[in-house]
Amino acid sequence: MAHAQAIDNRGTGPTRGIALAAAWGILTLTGCDLPVDAAGATATTEQLRPVRVVMVDESAATRELRLPGVLRATQRAEPAFLHHGHLAERFVARGERVIAGQRLATLQNPALGPALAAAEARVREQDERLVQLAADYERARELHARGLASAQLLDRTLAQRNAAREARSQALAGVAEARDQLADAILRAPFDATVGDLLVEPGDFVQAGQPVLVLSGDSGLEVEVKLPQGLTRLLATGDAVEVRVLTTGARTRGQIRELGVARAGLPAPAVVAVAESEDFQPGTSVHVAISHAAAPSLKVPLGAIVDPGTGQTRVFRIVDGRAVMTPVTVGRLIGANVEVAGELSVGDRVVVAGHQQLLDGDAVRVLP
């Protein structure tokens, strides 16, 4: 029995050594591909945090900027009376088509009629005075020719007659002015248009220059947008743009017709002429899509951005099997992506899923 036990012990010793050596070799080989933590211990597959990644890409050199606006008629007006008074009568309704010269409304001002009558009376007065002075001048001229009147008398009567002529001309101008003012009490359409809105009701008191209604002409459509700082120098009149209706998504062509200059505290205005279409009417809310050249930049999916509440956005970049927290500055949205600036390069892998509990330096396992 003792002899048999000795033989068994001798056989077990070498076998156990071989098994331990093989196990050590396996751990050594596998440990070469696993990340090592701060203490130098090898991370196992169970300790790796699973993540999904995408590669950092470069945005296009052309950018599209969408600016909101409201369509309006290219030819439009808000007619008003030149004098104050009460709106006596209105001859049009909302949505009605009018032609140039058509009566729109009348004003009641008690002073306009008497003013014309007074101006006409002054003309009649000057006519009678001019007849008298003309007769006086003829009589003085005859007497002067017969040597019975001095030259001074002749000159004086001539000057009085000429002054009466000038006074009559002024009185005639007063009549014309009074007639124009009376005619201004009738509001007429300046061009063919559609009545967009009525701002004053009959019987209301209106001030001089106060708009009474709104007219939209038929000569085309336009939209005014406000340009961000620096964009004006990248655009020029005649540049093509795209105009889109917010509610229906309908699209049409547009062209920059006017470019303004920014003032203190105000952006630069731009007026875009819009191609006519059934889907586009005055008052429609639209977006003006302006494409312009821009320097290429980096972009990542929006899901890669991490904001821990400190106001400093960052992403997790995969380096040597570990997640490295990298601060970035976020720019504009490009669909489901966002422009970023930071210590990133095209082709870098950033985490887009699995970073909820991820810490800087954690070992990761990239999922397919």
302 is written with which tokens? Answer: 């929006």
169 and 263 co-located in one domain: no
Counted domains in the chain: 4
100 and 196 co-located in one domain: yes
Q: Backbone phi, then psi, for 183, in 5-degree steps? A: -70, -30
228 and 278 co-located in one domain: yes
Residue 205 in domain: yes
299 is written with which tokens? Answer: 């972009």
- Measured CA distances, 338 to 64, 164, 201, 205, 346 (Å): 14, 84, 53, 56, 14
104 and 202 co-located in one domain: yes
**Last residue of some domain: 293, 314, 333?**
293
Whether the predicted model's global pTM rises above the 0.85 cut: no
Tens of each residue's pLDDT in the chain, 368 residues: 334 343 344 344 444 443 433 433 433 333 334 454 444 444 555 578 899 999 998 876 667 788 999 999 999 999 999 889 999 999 999 999 999 999 999 998 887 777 778 888 888 888 888 888 888 888 888 888 888 888 888 888 889 888 988 988 988 888 888 787 777 888 999 999 999 999 999 999 999 999 999 999 887 899 999 988 778 888 889 999 999 998 888 889 999 999 988 887 788 999 999 987 777 888 889 999 988 666 678 889 988 998 877 778 999 999 999 999 999 988 877 778 888 888 888 899 999 998 888 888 999 999 88
Q: How far is residue 34's CA from residue 47's CA, in Å, rounded to a whole number? A: 10
Please report how the helices 151-183 and 112-145 are oriented relative to each other, as an axis angle in degrees rounded to 10.
160
- The range of the structural domain enclosing residue 262 comes to 64-74+219-293
**Last residue of some domain: 230, 264, 293?**
293
Phi-psi region of 262 (alpha: psi -120 to 50; beta: other; left: phi over 0): beta
CATH (domain of 253):
2.40.30.170
Residues with Cβ < 8 Å from 327, sequence gap 6 or more? Answer: 312, 313, 314, 342, 343
CATH (domain of 95):
2.40.50.100
pLDDT of residue 11: 42
Residue 39 in domain: no
308 and 277 co-located in one domain: no
pLDDT of residue 351: 93
Residues with Cβ < 8 Å from 235, sequence gap 6 or more? Answer: 227, 256, 259, 270, 290, 292
258 and 274 co-located in one domain: yes
Residue 195 in domain: yes
227 and 281 co-located in one domain: yes
- Single-letter code of the amino acid located at 206: V
- Single-letter code of the amino acid located at 212: V
Residue 37 in domain: no
Residue 7 in domain: no
354 is written with which tokens? Answer: 């699995």
Residue 85 in domain: yes
pLDDT of residue 282: 86
pLDDT of residue 293: 65
pLDDT of residue 94: 92
267 and 327 co-located in one domain: no
pLDDT of residue 71: 92
Q: How far is residue 211's CA from residue 204's CA, in Å, rounded to a whole number? A: 12
105 and 133 co-located in one domain: no
Residue 272 in domain: yes
Residue 5 in domain: no
CATH (domain of 324):
2.40.420.20
129 and 229 co-located in one domain: no
146 and 192 co-located in one domain: no
- Torsion sign across C-alpha atoms 110, 111, 116, 118: positive
**Last residue of some domain: 293, 325, 351?**
293
202 and 169 co-located in one domain: no
pLDDT of residue 44: 54
